[in-house]
Homo-oligomer: A and B are copies of this chain.
Amino acid sequence: MIQRPRGTRDFGPEEMEKRRHLENIMRREAALFGFREVSTPIFEHTELFTLKSGPNVVEEIYAFQDKGGREISLRPELTAPVMRFFVNELTNYPRPLKMFYFGQCFRYERPQSGRFREFYQFGAELIGNPGPESDAEVIALAASIMRRVGLKEYNIRIGHIGVLRGMLAQAGIDSTKAPPILQKLDKKEYEEARARMTEAGMSPEDIEKVIDVTRTSGPIEVLDKISGDARDHLEAVFRILSEYGFTNVEVDLGVVRGLDYYTGMVFEMDAPVLGAEKQICGGGSYSLTELFGGEKTFSTGFGIGFDRTLLALEREGYSAPQHHVDVYVIPVNEKTKGEAFRIAAKLRQAGRITEVDLMGRSISKNFKYAAAINARQAVIVGEKELAQGSVAVRDMSTGEQKLVPIEEILSSIAC
């Protein structure tokens, strides 16, 4: 047997119904917010991802040379491709431009529980202005999606990259030295962060102040000890979110993000039911366009881990609608097959999920198959009944059976 590649998955019918159901709810919610879908290729020039995330990213992604000698990578995320697309072709759209996307992403790393080499991301990007309205709109969409898919427990933690950047700048750390420090703080690797700050010449007091700030979390009032634009901005974001109806929101200045292109608000969402690996969404405001050769633009976006969100829903006891077949059509013998196919075609055209015996089975075996595929009704096409222009319609759950004239068959089969 040939196995599928390590870290990838096949999805069978039940799994796919569940996944499409969830995807469609997300898609619909994004549409209700006025976001519109875009799509980009599965692979990109590797340069796109190294520009965004630095040269080391190549170690973690599927990078290869194509036959023309081009450096190509399977996309590890979708923000860079979408912003490349925006810079190349979408700059003339009216602002705010609101886009969403859903698709596979790829990373080359040791597969582990709940983490796959091929995984699915649902995301959105809003290109508009740097105001709190844009940030709140994007967070509200992410939260509305979680509410609409029925996730019972989730938290929204919001930080602001400007607070720590401001403190580091005040302590004399220039913008080239800040990113590695911020990366360590983001991962909560405090010893390494301390070492780097010491190396950069910061005083022990300043260092502890910085560490202390990254541990600041709680209701909006925890910002009272901080002043400046970042606080005003977050207060406005919190106010709009509460107007949108979301109050499960906390400040968490430990949400940092080490990368340069983040410009202000950053946020994460957790599903506590997932335990240690609880993050289901991450996002923030950023500016990537100038990296890709465009004009500077302000954007806010997020990526939802589709697989983890589904896992969280299942841990909470979520069950997707069950597959069923509206009607299974059974010819009793060779002579009534033609009519069986005609009836099946009619039912399908009228929107009924219809199967018809293709295997030439006996009636009792056909009933077994009808049960196996969860058929709600069976139409039995018998010779004698057919001579009178009728067929038998059987309710598969009760076993009740009645004669129905063929021309009235549509009204006796619900969809």
Copy number in this complex? Answer: 2
Whether a CB of chain B sits under 8 angstroms from the CB of A405 is: no
Residue A400, interface by CB 8 Å: no
Known A37-B16, A348-B33; judge A358-B94 contact (CB<8 A): no
Q: How far is the CA of A13 from the CA of B99 in the complex (A)?
A: 8
CA distance A323 to B359 in the complex (A): 45
CB-CB < 8 A to A133: which residues of B? 337, 357-360
Min distance, Cβ A73 to any Cβ of chain B, angstroms: 10
Q: In the bound complex, how far is the Cα of B136 from the Cα of A337, in angstroms?
A: 13
- In the complex, 21 of the A-B residue pairs with CB atoms within 8 angstroms, ordered by the A residue number, are A1-B293, A5-B66, A12-B85, A13-B36, A16-B36, A19-B39, A29-B348, A32-B351, A34-B353, A42-B106, A43-B74, A64-B65, A67-B108, A94-B369, A128-B358, A129-B359, A131-B360, A240-B338, A243-B339, A243-B342, A244-B342
In the complex, what residues of B have CB within 8 A of residue A337's CB? 133, 240, 243
Q: Does A51 contact B (CB under 8 A)?
A: yes
A144 within 8 A of B: yes
Question: Given the complex of chains A and B, what is the CA–CA distance between A43 and B62 in angstroms?
Answer: 11
Evaluate whether A87 and B1 lie within 8 angstroms (CB atoms) in the complex, with A137-B358, A369-B94, A373-B94 already known: yes
Task: Tell whether, in the assembled complex, residue B62 and residue A37 are in contact, meaning their CB atoms are under 8 Å apart.
Answer: no
What 0/1 readout, one digit per residue, does chain A (360-384) give for beta carbons within 8 Å of chain B?
1000000001001100000000000
Chain A interface helix/strand/loop/mixed = mixed
Nearest-CB residue, chain B, relative to A243: B341
Question: What's the Cα separation between A357 and B95 when bound, in Å?
Answer: 10
List of 4 A-B pairs having minimum Cβ-Cβ separation, nearest first: A8-B41, A13-B36, A1-B293, A34-B355
Nearest Cβ on chain B to A310's Cβ, whole angstroms: 14
Report chain B residues within 8 Å CB of A338. Answer: 239-240, 243
* Contact pick for A4, options B2, B85, B94, B98, CB 8 Å: B85
Give A284 Cβ to nearest chain B Cβ, in Å: 16
A36 contact from B45, B51, B323, Cβ within 8 A = B323
Do the beta carbons of A345 and B10 come within 8 Å of each other? no
* Nearest B residue (CB) for A47: B2
Question: Which residues from B are CB-within-8-Å of A355?
Answer: 33-34, 98
The answer to whether B372 and A94 have CB atoms under 8 Å apart is yes
Q: Is the pair A354, B34 in contact by a Cβ cutoff of 8 Å? A: yes
Evaluate contact between A373 and B39: CB separation under 8 angstroms.
no
Known A34-B354, A42-B118: A72·B5 in contact at CB below 8 Å: yes
Q: Which residue of B lies closest to A90 (CB)?
A: B12
Q: In chain A between 389 and 410, which residues have their CB closer than 8 angstroms to a CB of chain B? A: none
Contacts of A150 in B (CB 8 A): none
A287 within 8 A of partner (CB) = no
Shortest CB-to-CB span from A13 to chain B, Å, is 4
**Given A5-B41, A94-B369, A239-B338, A89 contacting B131 (CB threshold 8 A):** no
User: With a CB–CB cut-off of 8 A, which chain B residues contact A37?
Assistant: 13, 16-17, 20
Q: Are B48 and A2 in contact (CB under 8 A)?
A: yes
Q: A4-B44, A359-B128, A360-B133 are in contact. Are A10 and B32 (CB under 8 A)?
A: no
* A299 vs chain B, min Cβ distance (A): 12
- Give Cα distance in the complex from A372 to B98, angstroms: 13
* Nearest CB in chain B: distance from A275 CB, A: 27
List, in ascending order, chain B residues with CB within 8 A of A85's CB. Answer: 4, 10, 12
* Known pairs A43-B8, A131-B359; A32 contacts B352 (CB<8 A): yes
Contact with B along A219-255 (1 / 0, CB 8 A): 0000000000000000000011001110000000000
- Whether A359 touches B95, Cβ cut-off 8 Å, given contacts A38-B12, A67-B108, is yes
